[in-house]
Amino acid sequence: MNRSLSKTSTRFYRIAFKLLKFSNKLGYRNMMRIGRFIGRRMMQLDANHSRIAAINLDLAQPLLSPQQQRDLLEKSFEHVGMGIMEMAFSWWSPAERFNSRMHIKGLHNLKQAESLNKGIIFVTGHFTTPDILFRFIGNRLPTMNIFNPHQNEFIDRCIRAYRKRNSLAILNHEDIAQITRTLKNKDSLLLNHDEEPLHKQIVFSPFFKVPAATNTAVHRFARMTGAAVVPVLAVREDDLNGYKIIFEAPLQNFPRDAETDCQRLNQIIERWIDKYPEQYDWSQPRFRHRPDGEPAFY
């Protein structure tokens, strides 16, 4: 990206962030309506991510008819737009307003993990509610968050600054020393298992029967620190009146080997997607990296 274009995009993002902060004054339901509108416009204007999402749906949901895939694509982008508005809700809402919309399922699973007296790796998937989950878990437990750098420096700086308010630290996967030290100190880590890997620590593991380059971070960090691994998911309720924060039981017999562990975690995310397909972010290039000799999907 040339310098002139970069400056122009940064000015646009500065204005967008000011509008985002103002939107928090409009009331929650109005914010979600705006989010849906933004998501539909994104699907129309961002041809690249719309194309990637359509390919992913064709690969992962082949039994859906073309019209069903199209309907799911539209709903998914609406949820992506709501996720943008939730940045404002998560970053600038008072605690009482935020907490009143959180409804916990599986609290006994979280308490079980806490009773183990060890670090906890909270594992989630690439759903469209990341900032809801970051704030909720960060307010309950001292937690590090993994964040892949954004290509725009201004956005990257803003996201890190606001998420840091509810985090011990915002880290990359490569910050191994700090991650392992924190987990051994019996604190927590939250990461997306299905984030696009930016390094070579991967295995090709089936994701809806399609080999997908899968980050081995959860396996490696659990093996190095003995931390408990707890799957967790944040989803919007059907009436858009709040969120379900779902804690599953700490995984037994984990870790084993990288291939087994990655497939097990992929299957958990598949199960979540089967239940909440419209809330998954299908626009991420989940199948960008291919095994040697296989053609590219995108």
Domain count, the chain: 1
Of 16, 10, 60, 9, whose CA–CA distance to 38 is shortest?
16
Quickly state the pLDDT bin for 271 (edges 50, 70, 90). Answer: very high
Question: For residues 169 and 102, which has the higher predicted lDDT (pLDDT)?
Answer: 102
- Which parts of 168-227 are beta strand (E)? 169-171, 188-192, 202-207, 210-215
- With cut-offs at 50, 70 and 90, classify the pLDDT of residue 196: confident
What the block records as the tokens of 273 is: 């997607």
**Which range (53-62, 85-94, 149-158, 274-283) has the least confidence?**
149-158
Query: What pLDDT sits at residue 153?
Result: 82
Is residue 294 one of the residues assigned to a domain? no
Q: Convert the pLDDT of each residue in 218-263 to its tens digit.
A: 999 999 999 999 999 999 998 888 999 999 999 999 999 999 999 9
Q: Averaged over 181-205, what is the pLDDT?
A: 91
Query: Tokens 């400056």 map to which residue?
Result: 7
Q: Is residue 81 part of a domain?
A: yes
**Domain span holding position 28:** 3-279
pTM: 0.92
Q: Is 285 among the domain residues?
A: no
Q: Does residue 284 belong to any structural domain of this protein? A: no
Q: Please, is 235 exposed, middle or buried when counting C-beta atoms within 10 Å of its C-beta (0-12, 13-18, 19+)?
A: buried
